[in-house]
Amino acid sequence: MKGLDVLDWVVITAYFVILLGVAWWVIKQKQKNTEDYFLAGRNIGWFMVGASIFASNIGSEHVVGLAGNGAGDKMPLLIYEMHAWIVLMLGWVFLPFYARSGVFTMPEFLEKRFDARSRWVLSIVSLIAYILTKVSVTIYAGGVVVSALLGIPFWIGAVATVALTGLYTILGGMRAVVYTETIQAIVLVLGAGILSFMGLEAVGGWGELKETIGVDYFNMWRPNSDPDYPWLPLFLTSTIVGIWYWCTDQVIVQRVLTAKSIKAGRRGSIFGALLKLMPVFLFLIPGVVALGLKMQGKLHWDNPDEAFPVLMSNLLPSGLRGLVAAGLLAALMSSLASVFNSCSTLFTLDIYKKLKPDKPEEELVKTGRTATFFVVGLGLLWIPVITRLSDGLYEYLQNVQAYISPPITAVFLLGIFYKRINANGAIATLVGGLIIGFSKLTLEIMKSSFIEGSFLFNLADINWLVFAAYFFALCIAIAVIVSMFYPAPSAAQLSGLTFGTVTDKQKDENKASYNIWDIMASVLVVIIVVYIMISFSTLSL
């Protein structure tokens, strides 16, 4: 890899000056209460909501990992980047219920729909999930990126970036996160877009790339007999994980809850869905290009996760290299900032405030700032486990999420669509799902210690995509069957929280919050998703 030169450092320095200047301006605005600190006063416009959704999702694990998929023959995992249609579900299906309930967090919504037990369980599961996935993976990927770009040891790069991001997140709260994420999204898209264009030019164009690698390489749909990525379990599991991540996860939903109205939140989700279509071209294609250049003898890398930073450092001229490096750092920082703020929100409002309900608002804000440090420390401790679960960073992320998401997805979907589901059905699903999911994760970590062919080995060896699909069906069954043994929730408890209990007035308010342009933009997103899914198949290529 080529190192950064003086002009690159000027560009990176300019980026950080602008970013920290904006963060400082936000920090100077007083964070008077929890709504100011955790939801930016619920006064953010649709453009910044959408940009924040995109920046929160696209972390350095996406940049590094998705390009690694492109370079490492894992094209089927592209389906996880086709979730723009699920982002639309957030705005059209889930947001009206969240907004009407006036909640700050997703566990708080479950308490309103079911009871306090569900809130406690989801709060704890969510914090564990953030440590296992978002925090540790983002820090790990960031350490790889920073050490490669700056030529410093991995842990120094990781910890230094965490410290800088944590500083403005802790001081500025959600408003600092949203404003800085908007800048980071712009830098990331611009930098990665230039790299994709120049990469295709270097490899000889799209036609030459297909000829070098082979048409079959681009097919994301493999037969159900495929041992790694059977298409039906892949589609089902990716959808289950997608609904959990985009429609029920605190990090993403917190972005639309900052909107000034349901209309702004929905439009933000539509804009976020449009932006979500871009990673295929911004990150996956550069990975494939890096593989093509390697096969042509023009580039060398040892691990597919190195494809993006190696391509960037060798292909781009001085200055542009600094811009893309700034984009990579932006991706790392935006993801960390999002997770930091959401973790502190969950801990403060769903755990600390429940234990000490009389604490003043100022005390709650201080507690939220303190909680961040502990989450980061636990994330750092989990990093060594990542490499044992998967040889690809992006696949590890989807792997763990497939064990966490089914019970949560089942409870939220049934909670909104089926009014007969009650608190006992929800808690049985959440607790039972937690036990099953973490048991499978533990077995997978320990698989090498089992005798090949033994019961525990075979259980640990079940394809994660197949397991998650059956796991979700089991969670649905648990929720429905257990609920039938107990009385149905009262009409007063369900009012406005399920499709069957929405009042005529609430329906009219929801209809007034969108127009024909919102519908047309959403249909366009769905059409583009279908087109890309068809395009990445052997038949069309």
- The whole-angstrom separation of Cα 341 and Cα 280 is 27
Residue 41 has pLDDT above 60, yes or no: no
Residue 196 has pLDDT above 80, yes or no: yes
- The whole-angstrom separation of Cα 33 and Cα 248 is 24
- The whole-angstrom separation of Cα 100 and Cα 13 is 43
Q: Mean pLDDT across the stretch 7-21?
A: 83
Distances (CA, A) of 524 to 51, 242, 510: 18, 19, 21
- The whole-angstrom separation of Cα 386 and Cα 241 is 19
Whole-structure pTM value:
0.83
Of residues 373 and 195, the one with the higher pLDDT is 195
Q: H/E element holding 18?
A: helix 6-28
Judged by average pLDDT, the poorest of 179-193, 206-220, 273-287 is: 179-193
Q: Mean pLDDT across the stretch 453-463?
A: 88
Q: Mean pLDDT across the stretch 176-201?
A: 78
Of all residues in the chain, the percent with pLDDT exceeding 90 is 26
Q: Mean pLDDT across the stretch 90-105?
A: 90
In the block, residue with structure tokens 């039938």: 484
- The whole-angstrom separation of Cα 12 and Cα 19 is 11
pLDDT-derived band at 541, boundaries 50, 70, 90: very low
pLDDT-derived band at 373, boundaries 50, 70, 90: confident
Which pLDDT score, from 0 to 100, does residue 98 have? 93
Of residues 300 and 140, the one with the higher pLDDT is 300
Of residues 183 and 80, the one with the higher pLDDT is 80
Mean pLDDT value across the chain: 82
- The whole-angstrom separation of Cα 397 and Cα 57 is 12
Q: Mean pLDDT across the stretch 294-299?
A: 88
Looking at 241-297, which runs of residues are DSSP E strands?
none
Sequential DSSP letters for 157-209? HHHHHHHHHHHHHHHHHHHHHHHHHHHHHHHHHHHHHHHHHHHHHHHT-HHHH
Q: Quick one: tokens of 486?
A: 């107990």
Q: Quick one: tokens of 28?
A: 């100077």
- The whole-angstrom separation of Cα 137 and Cα 68 is 14
pLDDT, tens digit, for every residue of 243-253?
999 999 887 88
Which pLDDT score, from 0 to 100, does residue 12 have? 83
Which pLDDT score, from 0 to 100, does residue 240 have? 96
Which pLDDT score, from 0 to 100, does residue 539 have? 46
Residue 390 has pLDDT above 80, yes or no: no
pLDDT winner (highest mean) among 254-263, 387-396, 426-435, 489-498: 426-435
- The whole-angstrom separation of Cα 279 and Cα 58 is 8
Q: Quick one: tokens of 25?
A: 């301006």
pLDDT, tens digit, for every residue of 235-284?
999 999 999 999 998 878 888 888 888 999 999 999 999 999 888 888 88
Which pLDDT score, from 0 to 100, does residue 227 have? 87
- The amino acid occupying position 153 is P
Residue 74 has pLDDT above 70, yes or no: yes
